[in-house]
Structure 1
């Protein structure tokens, strides 16, 4: 018989996914140790696990998968063929509808772009404390995207307005915002998206406490630190309007000791997501809730309280690191509302994580 770890490795499913499919009655182990609760599978169940993994990657609903698995070994395969054909038809219809909507959206975007004027048309020069700019870059770098289809998200927005500089990064699933003081500008708003390689080169220059000079000349961005500089072309795309995303519904706030909370996340229970990440793999989720006494807990597998919020555990651990404080402030709203990670002493620097639907 195969252990759950062996079945996960050979079947293309995670251990947490196999536990879920057992509870859902989709792929039930042949034997469960009554003492340890450990699951064991018959060799012939490996084919079912691989089939299940393929059907989930194709986005088939669990109810249909249950029927496919129940009929797979039978002599009459008409039901299986019918279910596969029906699901394929749904996907084709959905793709046709999506193409029609995206065609309309592209036309709207073309009209919008023709009406817009660049926010970075004039030359902008300003001074920034090196330590503040370094801290701001460290606070947002982790949230930048890597999707080749959305190149503008592969950079960091430098949003200059008055005497303030905001840095913003997002990959659609999370967003980070930080700020730094500036002098020497004080003019109208200017935005420029700095590609990640250039942002990393800028960060390498920020090793002291001195003032550094930031220059935006059209689509060229330069950071000068003494006799050293990092310069390059900005990304020629408009960054999403992050200001519309940071006004979150009121939620429950709770202070957490960063080290203790990190340990609770790393050693606590995880669940599997129903939605797939960009690389096609499921992600581990941590399910959180603020208790009546104001403590944030990592919920057990059987905890289905309506106030629970599930987030990508890896993303949350990254946000804790970027928070760079021994104590952080978590803000949790409804299960469908983003989770915010804030600094108690600087709420201008924060991260937002989108909630994820868990399979539980």
Structure 2
């Protein structure tokens, strides 16, 4: 007999998913302990669980999965083949419909951009920034820059100059990092440029002093001057998304955690494997965080306790805590589908957001 934890590990289905499929009557344990309620599975159920995991990854409706599991071991496989073929046709129709909608959206974008009348960038700004502050801001956001070649507009760090504040922003869709610092010398309108990741790294290498450095934006070119050293290059030719629309989160619970202790708990605690497949990373590991009523946060197996739970990419959370660079950080939990915020205790302008991971598949 396999325990529910062993079944989850060997099948690719999470513990909470196995409980859900039990309640739905799709994959019922061979035996349930009448005292503890703990579920146990027979050896032959592992193949059914793996089949169920494959069908769910293919997006098959639960009603069809129930019929396939019922007919899988029978001599007549016509029903199973028919259901698989019907689902494949649904997926193909859905893909055709999606292509039609995306074609219409591209046409709308082409009309908006209208390259025949596009004008070159004319933004200009000159400002002075403390080198340690700019170095810390780059360190706080660099890890969140996208490496997806299909999304070149996210392949750099946004430099957003407004008034006497410079905000640095990076996102790869699954996480977003923002850092704000004070500046001197810019009194003009708001200026935004996206600095390619390689140029941002070159800038960071110059920020080893304590004094101010100069930052200049002229059209599509950005320059950092640190004494007699300089890093300069072209900005990305793509507009960065309006990050301000992404950072307004519903109010929720705030938990103050000791960074080092919480990192150790994450690194040694239970994980859910393979939950990063929606971003093409089947090896990603997910941690389930449980938030108790008293505000404490723990890393749990499946979140079946009394508190509310949220699942996040463990590697992303570890990077965000390290980038915060503080002994203590604040974790902010809103709605179950809202991003988790990682904030500094002494600086509300620098924070990170992590998209939650679904637990029900």
TM-score of the two chains, using structure 1 as the length reference: 0.84
Conserved 8 A contact 1:307-1:334: no
Equivalent-residue separation in structure 2 for 1:128 and 1:162 (angstroms)? 13
Instruction: Give the match for residue 260 of structure 2.
Output: 259
Greater Cα shift, 310-319 or 346-355: 310-319
Report the 3-state secondary structure (helix = DSSP H, G, I; strand = E; otherwise coil) of the residue aligned with 1:347.
Answer: coil
Q: Residues of 2 paired with 1:253 and 1:155: CA distance?
A: 30
Alignment-derived partner of residue 104 in structure 2: 104
The 1:160/1:120 distance shift into structure 2, 3 A limit, reads: farther
Matched, 1:238 2:239: yes
1:276 CA displacement: 2.4
d(CA) in 2 for partners of 1:200 and 1:255?
31
Aligned counterpart, 2:175: 174
Give distance in 2, aligned partners of 1:322 and 1:274. Answer: 23
Tell me by how many angstroms 1:193 deviates.
Answer: 0.7
Paired residues of 1:21 and 1:28 also in contact (CA < 8 A): no
Instruction: Quote the Cα distance in structure 1 between the aligned partners of 2:108 and 2:321.
Output: 39
Cα–Cα, structure 1 residues 254 and 53, in superposed 2: closer, same or farther, change >3 Å?
A: closer
Cα distance in 2 for partners of 1:123, 1:67 equals: 64
Aligned to 1:76: 76
CA separation in 2, counterparts of 1:288 and 1:247? 22
Contact 1:18 1:27 in 2 (8 A): no
Partner of 1:142: 143
Question: Quick one: structure 1 residues 338 and 294, their matched pair in 2 at CA, closer, same or farther if it must change by over 3 Å?
Answer: same
TM-score (structure 2 length as normaliser) = 0.84
Question: Does 2:62 correspond to 1:89?
Answer: no
1:298 matched to 2:299:
yes
The offset of 1:292, in angstroms, is 2.2
Q: Which has the higher mean CA deviation after the structures are superposed, 56-65 or 261-270?
A: 56-65
Q: After TM superposition, give the deviation of residue 47 of structure 1 in Å.
A: 6.7
- Mapped to 1, the partners of 2:237 and 2:348 lie a distance apart of 30
Distance 1:357 1:273 in 2: 12
Q: In the aligned structure 2, how far is the partner of 1:49 from the partner of 1:154?
A: 39
Find the counterpart in structure 2 of residue 201 from structure 1.
Answer: 202
Change in 2 beyond 3 A, CA 1:6/1:258? closer
Matched-pair contact (CA < 8 Å) for 1:327–1:344 = yes
**8 Å CA contact 1:156, 1:194 repeated in 2:** yes
Aligned-residue offset at 1:105: 2.0
* Distance across 1 between alignment mates of 2:243 and 2:189: 18
Distance 1:59 1:2 in 2: 26
| Residues 303, 309 of structure 2: 8 Å contact kept | no
Task: Report 1:2-17 matches (<5 A).
Answer: 14=12, 17=13
Gaps of 5+ in 2: 33-37
Unaligned stretches of 5+ in structure 1?
none
CA distance in 1, matches of 2:358, 2:104: 29
Counterparts of 1:251 and 1:85, CA distance in 2: 45
For this pair of structures, how many residues does the alignment match? 354
Q: Distance in 2 between matches of 1:179 and 1:117?
A: 31
Q: Residues 119 and 191 of structure 1 are in contact (CA less than 8 Å); yes or no, is this contact kept in structure 2? A: no
- 1:8-37 Cα distance to aligned partner (Å, 9 max, x none): 99x8x64xx3756654356789999xxxx9
- Structure 1 counterpart SS, 2:250: coil
Question: What do the CA deviations read for 1:114-167 (whole angstroms, capped 9, x no partner)?
Answer: 499879513322221111111001111111112221111111111111221100
Structure 1 residues 274 and 190 mapped into 2: Cα distance closer, same or farther (>3 Å)? same
Distance verdict in 2 for CA 1:217–1:153, change over 3 Å: same
